[in-house]
Structure 1
């Protein structure tokens, strides 16, 4: 094992010196295995009832630090500041305003801080939980850019309901809310967590918050949310995930800890681990994933916060444009399949129900906020909605409430109410 790791590291270092960046493909087969027999990096292993093995790894020997750009990286244990909410509320240019009484984060929302493996143990101080990759596959399906070239009409302080963007990407269907045109240093959203149907083993569905920078062919992106992805995880459980790329998924980036890059500091949350207690479309969400991604203005590292827990960060050394700011922010759902035409896949998005203003029944994101080089979260001034295949995966933006809600999702071709063919 030691010889194998040394060979990998020597190869990556050579490639880094030649090309200026390490070639860690989005299709990377980085396979974390216990290192206790040699380096004593794994101090404890926990068998989860869903089949996962969680290794409690010495925080200073975690896989992230094997990235050539992080050889001398000093782990930042906490962000230097935590953004707060701006006091000035967003003004909606409407004659009538309606308070969304059905949404009260303090009363009805439960942040996702529990994962299945927690039932069988916990990691000790000084370690981070790393999900052992037991897959025999050597591919992790790429997440393509949501960037686009066309422009669209926007109205200041308004949430547009237009669907005019040209964002279609091969093998992807998306229903999203997005904002662009400014320098963004953070984004957050409260995402209802479901377990939608994934028909094929080579397909996935996800819901997340995403920030991007750069052109369509060579963009940088950081993303986090929940995902059902049998090719990556070997089952159809709903899992917390992170993702990054520095070159449009051409040769860098990956999910979770499948390649070096994302530095973990939390001993409680494992990237890629199954979420406990999934919401049902027939009831109000029992789980809401509160995701915040923001840049530390002193170190330029991008932090991920899950329900108030500081999970870790993407170091600024991984990026160029994102080491300064993001150019766009997106919230919503994404389905990957090679069957997005007739016959269409039955892989669902969100809760598997079409978007609707009926609270609690469909996929939804609330509490959407951004940062723009300030200390406070605020509503975005410019937004737009978009769906690749509205008959299969729709959206509805509730803009008559004092806190707009983005509803999205659909059954694909599955189920009796499907309009998708």
Structure 2
């Protein structure tokens, strides 16, 4: 009974009165909430906050106006639109909060550099990645302010509801005792989302040694994210300060629980190995990084952050593209 009351209190706090509500084909309920009444403004640091539609400072690459080369399409936008002055927010349900509760137990854990914010504590040692990165130590790029890619979208099979498969682009600053990160990804994560759909997911933290800030699926974490887009549905998250990255990293990630003593059959990316290349491996295409010189720069060389190629593999083709993926358990990956 006490837990039910706690859940109801969280739902009331997170789900604000809607100007308009509609349901997507996959069952998601989207609330159009007054931009100034969104959950972010419950945070004491954002009382009397003046909402900026654009950042006050950003490298010139991010500020340039130009043709949109492809925007994120979400299912709910096929037939609906939020009224002007409101923002679309995915409604949080009771099951979302109940799934999130175990995750909050590791919010103040101090993990190492291999920490994954999307895995619960017991899964941290089961993370497998096939990633590459660009470092600020490469004088060709200088200080790093972000990255840009064209990312192919897949729905990889996930064997166990406690496992996941993701493709992510993230900026990391590990210059010091605390690790700062901002990431964006697509993810098949049934333990977090409650189904096997591919979802867009965004995350940031001011430090892995302090609170982590996520989107709607970590409702137990105190977060604040000011939503200004009327076309991209989100929910709880955070509004970070400008972060200078030491690395821009990209690639695939899975959880391998090795149930029964065998490697998981959870696929990464398309299920094809990265070295199979174009049209087979999942891809980060046209990879660029933004630097202080005011523009995006093509990535011409990378550092690999993995060694084993038996279950999953990555490959950079020296043409600004990184391919990754694999089938998981097979004859060569027992």
Give me the TM-score of the superposition, normalised by structure 2.
0.78
SS in 1 for 2:274: coil
Separation in structure 1 between the aligned mates of residue 234 and residue 71 of structure 2, nearest angstrom: 13
Would the alpha carbon gap of residues 33 and 70 (structure 1) be closer, same or farther in structure 2, given more than 3 Å must change?
Answer: closer
Equivalent residue in structure 1 for 2:99, among 133, 137, 161: 137
| 2:75 aligned residue | 116
Q: How does 1:5-404 map to 2 (within 5 A)?
A: 33-36=14-17, 42-79=18-55, 83-84=60-61, 111-134=70-93, 135=96, 136-139=98-101, 147=113, 170-182=125-137, 183-214=143-174, 218-248=178-208, 251-256=211-216, 258-259=218-219, 260-271=223-234, 314-316=239-241, 323-339=242-258, 342-380=261-299, 383-387=302-306, 389-399=308-318, 403-404=319-320
| 1:419 aligned residue | 332
Separation in structure 1 between the aligned mates of residue 240 and residue 285 of structure 2, nearest angstrom: 28
Structure (1 or 2) with the greater helix fraction? 2
Per-residue deviation, 1:46: 1.1
Separation in structure 2 between the aligned mates of residue 377 and residue 341 of structure 1, nearest angstrom: 47
Per-residue deviation, 1:63: 1.9
Per-residue deviation, 1:252: 2.5
Separation in structure 2 between the aligned mates of residue 244 and residue 176 of structure 1, nearest angstrom: 19
SS in 2 for 1:232: helix
Separation in structure 2 between the aligned mates of residue 411 and residue 355 of structure 1, nearest angstrom: 11
Report the count of equivalent residues: 300
SS in 2 for 1:392: coil
Per-residue deviation, 1:387: 2.6
Deviations 1:26-70 (A, max 9, x none): xxx88865432xxxxx21111111011011111112222333433
Would the alpha carbon gap of residues 324 and 34 (structure 1) be closer, same or farther in structure 2, given more than 3 Å must change?
Answer: closer
How well do the aligned residues superpose, as a CA RMSD in angstroms? 3.4
Separation in structure 2 between the aligned mates of residue 385 and residue 239 of structure 1, nearest angstrom: 26
Deviations 1:58-116 (A, max 9, x none): 1112222333433343211124567449xxxxxxxxxxxxxxxxxxxx9xx97353211
SS in 1 for 2:191: helix
Deviations 1:150-189 (A, max 9, x none): xxxxxxxxxxxxxxxxxxx612100111022353111111
| 2:120 aligned residue | none
Would the alpha carbon gap of residues 146 and 255 (structure 1) be closer, same or farther in structure 2, given more than 3 Å must change?
Answer: farther
Q: Is the 8 A contact 1:411 1:418 kept in 2?
A: no
SS in 2 for 1:264: coil
Separation in structure 1 between the aligned mates of residue 256 and residue 11 of structure 2, nearest angstrom: 23
Q: Is the 8 A contact 1:173 1:335 kept in 2?
A: yes
Which residues of structure 2 form unaligned runs of 5+? 115-123, 138-142
Would the alpha carbon gap of residues 57 and 383 (structure 1) be closer, same or farther in structure 2, given more than 3 Å must change?
Answer: same
Give me the TM-score of the superposition, normalised by structure 1.
0.63
Would the alpha carbon gap of residues 33 and 72 (structure 1) be closer, same or farther in structure 2, given more than 3 Å must change?
Answer: closer
Separation in structure 2 between the aligned mates of residue 176 and residue 349 of structure 1, nearest angstrom: 12
Q: Is the 8 A contact 1:349 1:412 kept in 2?
A: yes
Separation in structure 2 between the aligned mates of residue 49 and residue 82 of structure 1, nearest angstrom: 38
